[in-house]
Amino acid sequence: MTVCESKDHPDQKIVADVCPGKPLCTFDKKELDPVDKPCVQVNIRNIEPCSPYFTQHIKVYDSDEVKDVITRLKRSDRKLKQRNVDLYRFVDPVKGPRQLLAFDQPMLWNKRPLKPSDKITCGDEGLKSGVNLLGDSWCYTVQ
């Protein structure tokens, strides 16, 4: 929610309708796929053996949160809708996706969880969450 002066609002209809003592509330809907923001396409791969979930290609926008990316992932795969999904980043974004996984313990090395409240920024060096460089390949698990 943003509180602003009526004269600073870009919509002239709202400026004309507001009078002293009667505030006018407007609500803006957050879009899951905004058109005007820069984005990066990320490969999100399921690393669990013998599971029916595969690699997805999801667009990640500047100033997204991890829960927005999880929502887009669930929207792209119908089997994920009622499941709990956790996203992980590789410690080394270049070497991590190329490393062979242990079949019985795929989460053993080289992965760190992403918290749903983490904010993702799109900079010159790529996607970042806080100080961590995320890279263009992530992994997810399904419970």
9 vs 3: CA distance, rounded Å: 10
Token pair, residue 91, equals 């410690």
Residue 24 inside a domain? The answer is no
Residue 56 inside a domain? The answer is yes
- Strand 39-46 vs strand 137-142: parallel, antiparallel, or unpaired? parallel
Query: What is the total count of domains within the chain?
Result: 1
Residue 11 inside a domain? The answer is no
Q: What is the CA radius of gyration of the chain?
A: 20
Host domain of residue 45: 34-142
**pTM here?**
0.73
Residue 114 CB contacts under 8 Å (≥ 6 apart), including other chains: 66, 86, 87, 88, 89, 129, 138
Instruction: Write the pLDDT tens digit of every residue in 101-143.
Output: 777 777 777 788 999 999 998 878 888 888 888 989 999 999 8
Residue 108 inside a domain? The answer is yes
Q: What percent of the chain has pLDDT over 90?
A: 30
Token pair, residue 133, equals 């460089």
108 vs 139: CA distance, rounded Å: 13
Residue 107 inside a domain? The answer is yes
Residue 19 inside a domain? The answer is no
Report the pLDDT value the prediction gives residue 2, as an integer from 0 to 100: 64
18 vs 7: CA distance, rounded Å: 10
Q: Evaluate whether 80 touches 72 at the Cβ level (below 8 Å).
A: no
89 vs 62: CA distance, rounded Å: 17
Residue 28 inside a domain? The answer is no
> Residue 65 maps to which CATH number?
3.10.20.90
Residue 21 inside a domain? The answer is no
Report the pLDDT value the prediction gives residue 116, as an integer from 0 to 100: 92
Among candidates 101, 98, 104, 127, which has minimal Cα distance to 114? 127
